[in-house]
């Protein structure tokens, strides 16, 4: 595994397998790893608000015996008050690892370039690798396998989808994506995802038809229609995404025991109805919990 975790496509299939296996181990036996990173410290540089990413990394690091420090949007003002290069160089003198949650993906790349310690992408406008690794771990945990499983993603072609496509492709899943016209995933990421799945038996299908994507799916995944940074487009997006809601009608097209996934936070009654997110098929809270276990595995891989 490389020094940093910035995107899924940079990981080898073997790296993903090792992370998934280690995630299962740290989840099943917390005490075994309670001193694994004793005396080590991580810093969370966040330009965006966070619930799951912040708490899961902070508590995960504590459970591994280490220490975490949170540096919020107004504490560093990276790129404004101080250059990314200087932030990276200085924090690398204090910390053993940097987790960055940024608007621009280039900021994460620059942090990794100038930091002498590992940098983990906690979310950027291009990728959300920790989320995707946690997602495929959750699918494997629930269904017992990944290869050949059909996952449908219905909604915005955003950073979550970018990482999910690459992760699912690398492990041999079948991916069906439905987005409104004009909201498709980035073309270069689609190309990369197709390359990722070239030797795994994966297939990728894209359309503007949510019913086509949902039909016979074993997993249905969605995310908010208006991501952070797109608030000014709210009215326009709500109109464009109106037919892309995960509801009972759409779920009837999927497999009877189809898993329902959402990275959260969810805008209930918008991209997903209460009846679906609170159904027996929903694993959204398992996803949220597994973020911590997966991130613990990533930290162990990079720091131990």
Show the domains of the chain with their CATH numbers.
8-128+291-303 (3.40.50.1370), 131-287 (3.40.50.1370)
Q: What is the pLDDT of residues 174-224, one digit of tens each?
A: 999 999 999 999 999 999 999 988 889 999 999 999 999 999 999 999 999
Distances (CA, A) of 274 to 136, 210, 218, 234, 282: 24, 19, 20, 21, 11
The model carries a pTM of 0.96
Q: Round to whole Å and give the CA distance between 246 and 90.
A: 45
pLDDT band of residue 229 (cuts 50, 70, 90) is confident
pLDDT at 274: 98
pLDDT band of residue 66 (cuts 50, 70, 90) is very high
Question: Of the candidates 184, 277, 180, which has an alpha carbon nearest to the alpha carbon of residue 238?
Answer: 180
Catalytic (active site) residue 223: yes
Q: Is the dihedral of CA 266, 243, 137, 191 positive or negative?
A: negative
Percentage, residues of the chain above pLDDT 90? 91
pLDDT at 58: 98
Is the model's pLDDT at 232 over the cut of 80?
Answer: yes
Is the model's pLDDT at 133 over the cut of 80?
Answer: yes
pLDDT band of residue 78 (cuts 50, 70, 90) is confident
pLDDT at 230: 75
Catalytic (active site) residue 54: no
Is the model's pLDDT at 241 over the cut of 80?
Answer: yes
Catalytic (active site) residue 126: no
pLDDT at 150: 98
Catalytic (active site) residue 262: no
Q: Are 139 and 118 in contact (CB under 8 A)?
A: no
pLDDT at 73: 84
Catalytic residue among 54, 130, 263, 293: 263
pLDDT at 226: 87
Catalytic residue among 40, 52, 105, 128: 128
Catalytic residue among 101, 126, 237, 293: 101
Catalytic residue among 126, 237, 291, 293: 291
pLDDT at 12: 94
Q: Round to whole Å and give the CA distance between 4 and 254.
A: 37
Q: What is the pLDDT of residues 89-108, one digit of tens each?
A: 999 999 999 999 999 999 99
Catalytic residue among 131, 196, 287, 293: 131
Question: Of the candidates 188, 102, 203, which has an alpha carbon nearest to the alpha carbon of residue 151?
Answer: 203
Catalytic (active site) residue 101: yes
Report residue 125 as tokens.
Answer: 């406008």
pLDDT at 93: 98
Q: Round to whole Å and give the CA distance between 165 and 96.
A: 30
pLDDT at 27: 98
Q: Are 256 and 297 in contact (CB under 8 A)?
A: no
Q: Are 168 and 201 in contact (CB under 8 A)?
A: no
Percentage, residues of the chain above pLDDT 70? 100
Catalytic residue among 223, 237, 258, 293: 223
Is the model's pLDDT at 79 over the cut of 80?
Answer: no
Is the model's pLDDT at 168 over the cut of 90?
Answer: yes
pLDDT at 285: 98
Q: Is the dihedral of CA 151, 141, 252, 149 positive or negative?
A: positive
User: Tokens 């949170």, residue?
Assistant: 70
Q: What is the pLDDT of residues 18-52, one digit of tens each?
A: 999 999 999 999 999 999 999 999 999 999 889 99
């Amino acid at each position: 595994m490389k020094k940093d975790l910035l995107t899924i496509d940079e990981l080898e299939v073997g790296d993903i397998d090792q992370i998934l296996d280690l995630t299962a181990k740290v989840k099943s036996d917390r005490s075994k790893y309670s001193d694994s990173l004793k005396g080590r410290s991580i810093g969370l540089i966040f330009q965006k608000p966070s619930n799951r990413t912040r708490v899961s990394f902070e508590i995960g690091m504590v459970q591994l015996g280490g220490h975490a420090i949170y540096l919020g949007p107004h504490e560093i003002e990276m790129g404004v008050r101080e250059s990314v290069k200087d932030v990276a160089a200085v924090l690398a003198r204090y910390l053993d690892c940097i987790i960055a949650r940024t608007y621009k993906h280039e900021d994460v790349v620059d942090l990794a370039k100038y930091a002498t310690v590992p940098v983990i992408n906690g979310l950027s406008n291009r990728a959300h690798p920790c989320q995707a690794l946690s997602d495929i771990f959750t699918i494997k945990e629930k269904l017992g396998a990944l290869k050949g499983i059909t996952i449908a993603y219905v909604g915005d072609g955003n950073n979550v989808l970018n990482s999910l496509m690459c992760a699912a492709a690398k492990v041999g899943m079948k991916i069906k994506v439905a987005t409104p016209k004009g909201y498709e995933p980035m073309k270069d990421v689609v190309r990369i995802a197709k390359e990722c799945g070239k030797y795994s038996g994966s297939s990728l299908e894209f359309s503007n038809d949510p019913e086509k994507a949902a039909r016979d799916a074993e997993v249905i995944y969605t995310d908010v229609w208006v991501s952070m940074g797109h608030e000014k487009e709210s009215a326009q997006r709500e109109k464009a995404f109106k037919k892309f809601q995960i509801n009972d009608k759409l779920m009837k097209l999927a497999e009877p025991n189809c898993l329902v996934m959402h990275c959260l936070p969810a805008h209930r009654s918008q991209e997903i109805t209460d009846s679906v997110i609170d159904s027996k098929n929903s694993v959204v809270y398992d996803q949220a919990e597994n973020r911590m276990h997966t991130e613990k595995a990533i930290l162990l891989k990079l720091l131990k």
